[in-house]
Structure 1
Amino acid sequence: MGFAEEHQRWLGYHKKCRTGERLDRLDRGHRHGEQMFVERVWWPIFGKLDDLHPEYEVADWRGRPYFVDFVWKPGQVKFAIEIKGYGPHVQNTDRTRYRQELNRETYLQIAGYRVIAIPYDDLESAPEQTISLLKAVLTPSLLKTSSEGSSQFTRIERDILRMASRMNGMIRPVDVVEGLGVNRRTARKYINILCEKGKFKPVLAQDSSRVCRYELIHSFIDSEIW
């Protein structure tokens, strides 16, 4: 599944989970800058949108609702990601609003979030720089989360993941049978387990509902996990 289809699926899922102001804020808030971030930065890093929450509601220090552009919670760690445009945040003539925004960011850190500010202009002109910086920030927490859950992959599951990686990210049960010397039932069993763990995605044959192969869901720290 490409980015456009996955983005629509992800956005549709979050809309179904919301009502009232939360839904309205998602419709109003997930606009050009936020979509650029997801497409030009997040997708190239992860190839999926799991655990990324758009227009995420948190309470500020006064207990009032506040919506963060994105919150990412892959486990025990949680990051608040804000897309910062030059006009609204630097030339803001409403000093009270500007002060409140800074206080919210401080409070988010008190509440356990790591706050990341993404310049809007860089999303347009230098997304590669943003990707590099974001990887540097996220990797330590990802490795910690991965090491805590490293037992989630058995030896045969790791072998299948490595095989899929060598085969340009696509694999069939027959490839597992021939490559690992297991029977077809065992191959399908472990491929289905890896689908449930979010590492494989079924790919349908053209004009058919039959699954013909499985696509590896890449992560930029796969080499550390496997």
Structure 2
Amino acid sequence: MGFAEEHQRWLEYHKKRRTGERLDRLERGHRHGEQMFVERVWWPIFGKLDDLHPEYEVADWRGRPYFVDFVWKPGQVKFAIEIKGYGPHVQNTDRTRYRQELNRETYLQIAGYRVIAIPYDDLESAPEQTISLLKALLTPSLLKTSSQGSSQFTRIERDILRIAISQSRSLRPVDVEKQLEIDPRTVKKLLSALCEKGKLKPILREGGRRVCRYELISSFMDIDLW
């Protein structure tokens, strides 16, 4: 299923489970910026929208309802994701609103959420930067909260896959050598083992037979590290 079909199915799923203000907020709040985030950032990383909740209602520090653009709850961890444009969040904010927003973000963290602010402008001009930052942020938390499949890989193999996941570009042997401080011969053996396990794909240098880099075969959430 492509993004457009999955996005529509996902929206309908959440609309059917809401009434009143919660439904109205979803219909009014999931607009251009939020849709760009889902299409240009979330979908390229995960290829699905599972556990992502749009316009999610939480109570603020005063007990009043507040709607977060997105909440992601894959398990033990939970993230509050806000899309922030320069106009509504800076130019049109007075001191009272600015103070309330800061207090709200602090309260979300007290409530156990990790708060992520996504610049609207980056969604338009540099979504790949947001993708890279989100991968680097989410990977350690997922590694801590899931134990399924962990015995399939050695500790060093899991470290290599974590590096590969966190990078927006393909993985080079030198990246592993520098970050894990291990010798080239060992790196070659480890990368070959991950290729045999079906997690990496060797990419040959153009016009030659020598492997110059590796790419993930599975998507971010299909890696059996979680």
- Percent of pairs with identical residues: 90
The amino acid across from 1:150 in the alignment is G
Contact 2:69 2:83 in 1 (8 A): yes
1:163 is displaced (CA, Å) by: 7.0
1:94 is displaced (CA, Å) by: 2.4
1:221 is displaced (CA, Å) by: 4.9
User: 2:64 matched to 1:64?
Assistant: yes
Alignment of 1:139-178 (within 5 A): 139-147=139-147, 149-150=148-149
1:25 is displaced (CA, Å) by: 0.1
CA distance in 1, matches of 2:109, 2:85: 21
Name the counterpart of 1:192: none
CA distance in 1, matches of 2:75, 2:96: 35
Which structure 2 segments of 5+ residues have no match? 153-196, 202-217
CA distance in 1, matches of 2:221, 2:112: 24
User: 2:140 matched to 1:118?
Assistant: no
1:99 is displaced (CA, Å) by: 1.1
Which structure 1 segments of 5+ residues have no match? 154-161, 167-217
The amino acid across from 1:124 in the alignment is E
Contact 1:92 1:98 in 2 (8 A): no
User: 2:32 matched to 1:36?
Assistant: no
Give the direction of change, closer, same or farther, for the CA distance of 1:28–1:47 in structure 2 (3 Å limit): same
Contact 1:139 1:221 in 2 (8 A): no
Give the direction of change, closer, same or farther, for the CA distance of 1:164–1:2 in structure 2 (3 Å limit): farther
Aligned length: 167
User: 2:78 matched to 1:78?
Assistant: yes
Give the direction of change, closer, same or farther, for the CA distance of 1:6–1:219 in structure 2 (3 Å limit): same
Task: Kindly report the root-mean-square deviation, in angstroms, between the aligned alpha carbons of the 2 structures.
Answer: 2.4
1:165 is displaced (CA, Å) by: 9.3
Give the direction of change, closer, same or farther, for the CA distance of 1:93–1:7 in structure 2 (3 Å limit): closer
Q: Could you give the per-residue CA deviations for residues 182-217 of structure 1, whole angstroms, max 9, x where no partner exists?
A: xxxxxxxxxxxxxxxxxxxxxxxxxxxxxxxxxxxx
The amino acid across from 1:39 in the alignment is E
Give the direction of change, closer, same or farther, for the CA distance of 1:68–1:138 in structure 2 (3 Å limit): same
User: 2:50 matched to 1:50?
Assistant: yes
Give the direction of change, closer, same or farther, for the CA distance of 1:165–1:18 in structure 2 (3 Å limit): farther
Indicate the SS of the match to 2:18. coil
Give the direction of change, closer, same or farther, for the CA distance of 1:165–1:58 in structure 2 (3 Å limit): same
Indicate the SS of the match to 2:38. helix
The amino acid across from 2:149 in the alignment is S
Q: Could you give the per-residue CA deviations for residues 145-176 of structure 1, whole angstroms, max 9, x where no partner exists?
A: 332x338x9xxxxxxxx77998xxxxxxxxxx
Alignment of 1:134-213 (within 5 A): 134-147=134-147, 149-150=148-149
Give the direction of change, closer, same or farther, for the CA distance of 1:144–1:219 in structure 2 (3 Å limit): farther
Contact 2:199 2:223 in 1 (8 A): no
1:91 is displaced (CA, Å) by: 1.4
Give the TM-score, by structure 1 length. 0.68
Give the direction of change, closer, same or farther, for the CA distance of 1:164–1:113 in structure 2 (3 Å limit): closer
Higher mean displacement: 94-103 or 25-34: 94-103
